[in-house]
Amino acid sequence: MKNKLIVQGIEIALSRINNEDYISLSDMAKDFGGTDQIKNWIRTRATIEYLGTWEAMNNSDFNMVGFHHVRMELISERFIISPTQWAERTNAIGIIAKSGRYGGGTFAHKDIAFEFGSWLSPQFKLYLYTEFQRLKKIESNTYNLEWNVKRILTKANYKLHTDAVRDYVIPTMNITKDKEWIVYANEADLLNMAVFGFTAKAWKEANPTLALRNANPRDYASINELAVISSLESIHSMLLQQGIDKANRYRLMKNMATEQLENLKKLDIVKSLKRNDDITYLGDDEKKD
């Protein structure tokens, strides 16, 4: 997603924090009296109750004792609390004060930012929400396109992989023609194990409905996983040509997959997300070595 929204001519910064979308309250308040409006909003009982409920639902480390102390202080007409004080006293994560000349200010999780938008102006909140959803849709379409491209490349490199199995593995084995598919499946599962941590058979057993559609783990992989598989298929075909034994090939593939996935995740964590949620994933204790 772009790092800013344009809402009724106002530039509003976006930030990705802990894999969640945060919106600048400071920017939102520019045309409504400035950042003092954030303190005016946060000091109301309705806001404190809302923030406390949000934190209780989304933050396992929320300081409920600190929250109750803040609630008790609401009876005072002089009660005032800044976003920084709210976070410090309750260990809140929904509102974060970022320092810096560029990109600094008070940011809030999108749920909270929309609530602040409603307080500023219901009309402004609607424009903000609409623009945010528009950018999310663009982001989703961009990632879907990239996923499809990566899937095509994976299928293309799979041909290199199967050709290597045909030319360099099967000739060394005393196996009949009707059993060759087992060799292809085993070699493909070497890569599945390296990247996903389980075989195609284990995945299908965990996802019987998808298996009936002839789906496989790669059809529901993340963009990063597809990129790594595509890379490993090419490398693995060369290892087959060199006659490297299966145990060493798996060790090399596993190490490469782990390193590449970690590096890609650092570049863009969104691409590490699975393409579809309608899957039963295997836990570590269910993965087959």
Is residue 276 scored above 90 in pLDDT? no
- One domain, residues 153 and 262: yes
- One domain, residues 155 and 238: yes
Angle at CA of residue 87, ends 85 and 90, nearest 5°: 100
Is residue 282 scored above 60 in pLDDT? no
| Per-residue confidence (pLDDT) for residue 288, from 0 to 100 | 42
- One domain, residues 116 and 166: no
Domain boundary among 120, 155, 173: 120
pLDDT, tens digit, 9 for 90 and up, residues 33-85 = 998 999 999 999 999 999 999 999 999 999 999 999 999 998 887 888 999 99
Domain boundary among 89, 120, 151: 120
In a domain, 208, yes or no: yes
- One domain, residues 148 and 267: yes
- One domain, residues 157 and 233: yes
In a domain, 288, yes or no: no
Conformation bin of residue 269: beta by default, left when phi > 0, alpha when psi is -120 to 50 = alpha
- One domain, residues 116 and 214: no
In a domain, 266, yes or no: yes
In a domain, 258, yes or no: yes
Domains held by the chain: number: 2
pLDDT, tens digit, 9 for 90 and up, residues 87-140 = 999 999 999 987 766 557 899 999 999 999 999 999 999 999 998 988 877 776
- One domain, residues 115 and 23: yes
- One domain, residues 107 and 189: no
In a domain, 174, yes or no: yes
Which residue range(s) make up the domain with 170? 140-272
> What single-letter amino acid sits at 205?
E
State how far the alpha carbon of 182 is from the alpha carbons of 71, 127, 170, 185, 213, in Å: 66, 57, 10, 5, 21
As given in the structure block, the two tokens for residue 241 are 């040509």
- One domain, residues 166 and 236: yes
Cα 118 to Cα 25: distance, rounded to the nearest angstrom: 12
- One domain, residues 248 and 192: yes
